[in-house]
Amino acid sequence: MSGTTPPGTAGTGAPRRAAGPFTSGGKNRWTVLVVLCVSLLLVAIDATVLHVALPAVTADLRPGPIELLWIVDTYPLICASLLILFGTLGDRIGRRRVLMLGYACFGLASALAALAATPYLLIAARALLGVGGAMIMPATLSILRQVFPERRERALAIGIWSAVAAVGAAIGPLVGGALLEYFWWGSVFLINIPIMVVCLPVGYWLLPESTGDRAGPWDVLGALMAATGLFSVILAVKRIGSGDIFGPGTVLAAGLGALLMALFVRRQRRRRYPLIDLTAFSRPAFGTSVGCIVLTVLALVGLALIAAQYLQLVLGLSPLQTGLRLLPLSLAAIAAGLLGSRMLQRLGPRTMVASGFVLTAVAVLTLTTMGDTDRPAVLIGGFVMLGFGLETTLFGSYESMLSDVPARQAGGAAAIGETAYQFGAGIGIALLGSIMNAVYAPAVRGVEGLSPGDASAAGHSLGEAYVVAGRLGEAGEVLREAARTAFVHGMRLTLAVSAVLLLLGALAALRLPRGIVKAHRPAPQPEKREDAPRPLLPTGVTRP
């Protein structure tokens, strides 16, 4: 179907209710951005808020090592697996509709997680949280693409959106630490419920509904192949990160994931109406941006976990103090997001993203000077550069990626960007965790006087080494000092590897377009909107 879609009608011509008092580019667009950012903030916080609550969860529910691993990993694993499915489904049935379902699912899952009485119930609730997060994340970005058709304003909106995502992940430990000072561990989930209760009616009334062109059937089999394939690949990466490199489960997951993703790519290339336009990856603005997102997150996501452990276990800070130490990173990310649109206009995508990578690498190298004594000035300076550089890179990458696709493909493009983020996170934890463990474990297990059981337990993590040391009396102090020293050495090597990855990202960014120019490719079919009197045409594409 081509041409305009009359107001109040869907793509089929059937009468439909308009989605609130919104017009494209109208005065309510900034209010819409606030609603989208609030919901995204919760999803981002939930990705890291549990890190500081794990000791309390362990003491209350008594999970085994495997159960504890799944409590942590289920949320990002399920969320990353379903992003393409729900992102393209939103293009088909309506992005607002999928977002509303995500709100309801996230609120229900939060209640179940807060009240979970067994590890298995908490794992199931975390899985349901992942489903809700996968509905919310691409929907917020694709709706933003519709609400801000003019590229300069959209750049500012994306800067705020990406800053909120970065800040949410960064302040997760701060929120968790503050709540754990006064409440039980379930409170880190319970805070989601009142916000989702508000977001549901406000979002339904205010947010616009939009879809893609709805041409051809939605590829259900392809969506399931992508979800299962991504689940298997990311599961294999996580198992490798835990040390199970050649185990049968790892090999099976990796093989199945690779096979399904290969079949998915083959299927998409052959279909007349594919879920994902794979030709977009051949364009520098899109393909390079996705690669930059993966490299950025790969280099840094594992560092968040290492930083939290360093601040608490090496420097001896409380969870709340740890969160406060990470606050400069969040403030710097907010500043970069607000300045992102102006920097993009002056520098262009290529220089902006490459500069962000270099600044982040400098920040990481600065943090390698940290040892077993507290140096607040160095730590704060490193975190400020880290937050500003990270947000600059992610902003430029997301903006270039989203502006390079027509509005009708916004859901699929947003899903690809978020999948790249989650995939980079999985690889980063596996790679950097393996490097950290390769330095830490042998040094700790080589401490004289430890039984084989104690040596094995102490080699798992610094926290477990402290537990073992507490049982050994005076002899435990030797273990405690050796574990702390080994952790600092491992952290420094991990930071150095991250800096190398970031510099590789700066080189990759040189493939991005140099500047921003007016549209130069033929306009696609009009976007079918239910709340606008004329179609929304894509604006603001880039070329080298």
For residue 363, the model assigns a pLDDT of 92
The closest alpha carbon to 322, from 525, 49, 539, belongs to 49
Q: How far is residue 542's CA from residue 413's CA, in Å, rounded to a whole number?
A: 16
29-218+275-517 in CATH: which number?
1.20.1250.20
- What does 390-413 look like in DSSP terms, one character per residue? HHHHHHHHHHHHHHTS-GGGHHHH
Query: What percent of the chain is predicted at pLDDT more than 90?
Result: 10
For residue 526, the model assigns a pLDDT of 45
For residue 234, the model assigns a pLDDT of 79
pLDDT digits (tens, 9 = 90+) for 421-441: 777 777 777 777 778 888 888
Of 313-322, 380-389, 503-512, where does mean pLDDT reach its minimum?
313-322
Q: Is the backbone of residue 25 left (phi > 0), alpha (psi -120 to 50) or beta?
A: left
pLDDT digits (tens, 9 = 90+) for 98-157: 999 999 999 999 999 988 888 889 999 999 998 998 888 888 878 887 788 777 787 788
For 44-72, what is the mean pLDDT? 76
For residue 529, the model assigns a pLDDT of 42
Q: Between vectors from CA 90 to CA 192 and to CA 77, what angle results, nearest 5°?
A: 55
Q: How far is residue 67's CA from residue 449's CA, in Å, rounded to a whole number?
A: 31
For residue 290, the model assigns a pLDDT of 87
Which of the two residues, 523 and 360, has the higher pLDDT score? 360
Beta bridge pairs of residue 9: 15
Q: Between vectors from CA 451 to CA 450 and to CA 455, what angle results, nearest 5°?
A: 65
Q: How far is residue 136's CA from residue 123's CA, in Å, rounded to a whole number?
A: 20
Which of the two residues, 520 and 308, has the higher pLDDT score? 308
Residue 114 neighbours by CB under 8 Å, 6+ apart: 186, 187, 189, 190
- CA dist list (Å): 478 to 21, 437, 471, 473: 67, 20, 12, 10
For residue 6, the model assigns a pLDDT of 32
For 209-217, what is the mean pLDDT? 67
Beta bridge pairs of residue 207: none
Here the tokens at position 346 are 């002056």
For residue 209, the model assigns a pLDDT of 78
Dihedrals phi, psi of 273, to nearest 5 degrees: -125, 80
| Residues 19/208, Cβ–Cβ less than 8 Å | yes
Q: How far is residue 535's CA from residue 533's CA, in Å, rounded to a whole number?
A: 7
Start-to-end CA distance of the chain, whole Å, equals 33
**Mean per-residue pLDDT of the chain:** 78
What angle in degrees, to the nearest 10, is found between the helix axes of 65-93 and 119-147? Answer: 30
DSSP-based helix, strand, coil % in the chain, nearest 5: 75, 0, 25
Q: Report which DSSP code applies to 286.
A: I
For 467-495, what is the mean pLDDT? 84
pLDDT digits (tens, 9 = 90+) for 372-385: 888 888 989 998 99
Indicate the helix (H) or strand (E) that contains 542: strand 542-543
Q: Is the backbone of residue 449 left (phi > 0), alpha (psi -120 to 50) or beta?
A: left
pLDDT digits (tens, 9 = 90+) for 242-272: 667 778 888 898 899 899 989 988 888 888 8
pLDDT digits (tens, 9 = 90+) for 382-429: 989 988 998 899 888 888 887 777 766 666 777 787 778 777 777 777
Q: How many helices (H) and strands (E) does the chain have?
A: 18, 2
| Pairing status of strand 542-543 against strand 515-516 | antiparallel
The closest alpha carbon to 537, from 144, 17, 11, 24, belongs to 24
Residue 514 neighbours by CB under 8 Å, 6+ apart: 348, 349, 350, 351, 544
For residue 527, the model assigns a pLDDT of 43
For residue 242, the model assigns a pLDDT of 65
Residue 241 has pLDDT above 80, yes or no: no
C-alpha 427, offset from chain centre: 13
SS3 of 539, please? coil
Amino acid occupying residue 237: V
For 285-289, what is the mean pLDDT? 85
Residue 80 has pLDDT above 90, yes or no: no
Beta bridge pairs of residue 15: 9
Beta bridge pairs of residue 529: 210
Q: How far is residue 498's CA from residue 116's CA, in Å, rounded to a whole number?
A: 37
For residue 216, the model assigns a pLDDT of 62
